[in-house]
Amino acid sequence: MTESLDIIILTFNEEKNIEACLESVVPLDANIYIVDSGSTDGTLAICRRYTDNIVNHPFENYAAQRNWALNNLPLKGTWILNLDADHRVSNELAIELNSILSAQIDTELNGFLISRRTMFMNKWIKHGGHYPTYHANMFRRGFGACEDKLYDQHFLVQGKTQILKEDIIDIITDSVNTFVTRHNHWATLEAEYLFAQKTATNHAELIQPKFLGNPMQRRRYLKNKYESFPLFVRPILYFFIRYFIKLGFLDGKTGFVFHFLQGFWFRMMIDIKVYELQKQANNKQA
């Protein structure tokens, strides 16, 4: 192949997911790197069947783990594809990537935007503005990094990017209980970030919000607009727009569960936690 590829996968107790993830990248001629943060189940035994490039690094947060991997692994490829254990490279995406990597890529092109195909309770969530959702999972080595955010991080790419046609499949949960537990944790992280932003003097480099920019920039622009609305009002408005205006109801009963939990409950939990932090700060000042 003209262009070489490294794949970085983060793991922690992912024995239920990691084999399907690794199987999905077998069609790619790539060096696979596993960055594990202390798995105690069968994750590493499964990984050893696919690669010897396995390192352990303590987990601080997602962005820190991603950037540590990018800066410290003995990467060799021209390109880097970043995956989580619950991601799958679709067959169509593998074919598309092999086609791209088999030819000489424009030297001014430094990244590819790949959409995620969200699978919730074995159903593809296609509506409600949730698909396509693009992330710069793949970029030229030395030209990408992860945003320094506690939640909803995107990869930053220096230079020109291109949108790919095919998807990464994202298996976002194995049960509703896991979904709620994870999103409650992420709501805490997002609330802390939003609260801290109000008093922060130095801001980390983030995706630049642009309505007419690339899909990630447009999504960040809309997210910033959402955050300008009052607490407790914005989750109601967002769910209404997502479920009715953007046709989330077409995803059926399973879709209703997803859009309600991810589009309303999760965002209401963020606002409740922001409100709690505000009250705690006011009490300290009183």
pLDDT tens digits along 129-164: 999 999 999 999 999 999 999 889 999 999 999 999
Q: In this structure, are 151 and 24 located in the same domain?
A: yes
Report the C-alpha dihedral over residues 209, 214, 219, 225, rounded to 10 degrees.
40
Counted domains in the chain: 2
Q: Is 139 exposed, middle or buried (0-12, 13-18, 19+ CB in 10 A)?
A: buried
Q: Domain containing 96 — which CATH number? A: 3.90.550.10
The residue that leads in pLDDT, 203 or 36, is 36
- The two tokens of residue 45 are 């035994």
> Would the pLDDT of 200 be above 80?
no
Q: In this structure, are 67 and 196 located in the same domain?
A: no
CA 158 to CA 139: how far, in whole Å?
A: 9
Q: In this structure, are 24 and 117 located in the same domain?
A: yes
Q: In this structure, are 163 and 118 located in the same domain?
A: yes
Task: Summarize pLDDT for 24-38 with one digit per residue, the tens.
Answer: 999 999 999 999 999
Q: In this structure, are 142 and 188 located in the same domain?
A: no
Per-residue model confidence (pLDDT) at position 285: 85
Q: In this structure, are 189 and 55 located in the same domain?
A: no
Q: In this structure, are 118 and 238 located in the same domain?
A: no
Which of 119, 146, 171 is the last residue in one of the domains? 171
Side-chain-facing half-sphere of 126: CA atoms under 13 Å: 5
Q: In this structure, are 139 and 207 located in the same domain?
A: no
Alpha helix (H) residue ranges in the chain: 18-25, 43-47, 62-72, 91-101, 176-197, 215-227, 234-240, 252-260, 266-285
Which of 171, 205, 239 is the last residue in one of the domains? 171
Q: In this structure, are 96 and 21 located in the same domain?
A: yes
Which of 171, 206, 239 is the last residue in one of the domains? 171
Q: In this structure, are 161 and 210 located in the same domain?
A: no
When the pLDDT of each residue in the chain is averaged and rounded to a whole number, the result is: 95
Q: In this structure, are 232 and 147 located in the same domain?
A: no
Range of the domain at 272: 176-285
Q: In this structure, are 158 and 270 located in the same domain?
A: no
Q: How many of the other CB atoms lie within 10 Å of CB of 57?
A: 16
Per-residue model confidence (pLDDT) at position 173: 85
> Which of 270, 263, 106, 257 has the alpha carbon at shortest distance from 185?
270
Terminal-residue alpha carbon distance, the chain: 66
